[in-house]
Amino acid sequence: RDALRTPRVKHLAAITNSQQVGPLLRAIDGYDGHGVTHAALRLAPHVFVRPGELRHAEWTEIDFKAAVWSIPAGKMKMRRPHRVPLSLQSIDILREIQKVTGKWQFVFPGFQSLRRPMSENALNGALRRLGYSGDEMTSHGFRAMASTLLNEMGKWHPDAIERQLAHVEGNEVRRAYSRGEYWEERVRMMQEWSDYLDRLRTGAQG
């Protein structure tokens, strides 16, 4: 009975109802804490990378001309390099914070030292400050939000969504048939996702 144990899955709180996304985004817009934290919190829903990947973003990884953020394998959970197409909205947020942190290594440096990335508790702390409890929303929850709502749209190939989430297919046979990056679809998807977030922010119902 103990030979095969079911791994414990840690479920992190996330808002996945489109009607609740708008209020969250408006709350983020009104965040009055540290500017670096605010920028990271604004960018998080658009790129939906893991919190650690966001915190450790470096300016050398951002290609504004190509509108791509290239994350090296060493920073990824699955140890595979990952590319994030940057929407116009993401570019705007990065351009704004570049005026403040652009001369440093990290896009979102820490409070105590500009030579280190921001604290792993900064984004969750900001969400708590905005009134969202740990049972309602976490910084990791932006991934579940995007995954749920993008799949509900029925417009995007599930593998394109999974690839953008940097998930690795567990089934070896399926993995062999899904090696494509779906790059062009992901570029379109990320821009439309940001546009969708903007509509929800202004009060659209999804």
Residues carrying an active site annotation: 50, 77, 140, 143, 167, 177
* 21 neighbors 205 (Cβ within 8 angstroms): no
Cβ-contact 21, 15 below 8 angstroms: yes
By the 8 A CB rule, do 25 and 197 touch?
Answer: yes
Q: How many helices (H) and strands (E) does the chain have?
A: 9, 3
Structure tokens at 140: 């990791």
**Number of Cβ atoms within 10 Å of the Cβ of 164:** 28
CB 81 within 8 A of CB 71: yes
Grouping H, G, I as helix, E, B as strand and the rest as coil, residue 205 is coil
The number of beta carbons lying within 10 Å of the beta carbon of residue 138 is: 21
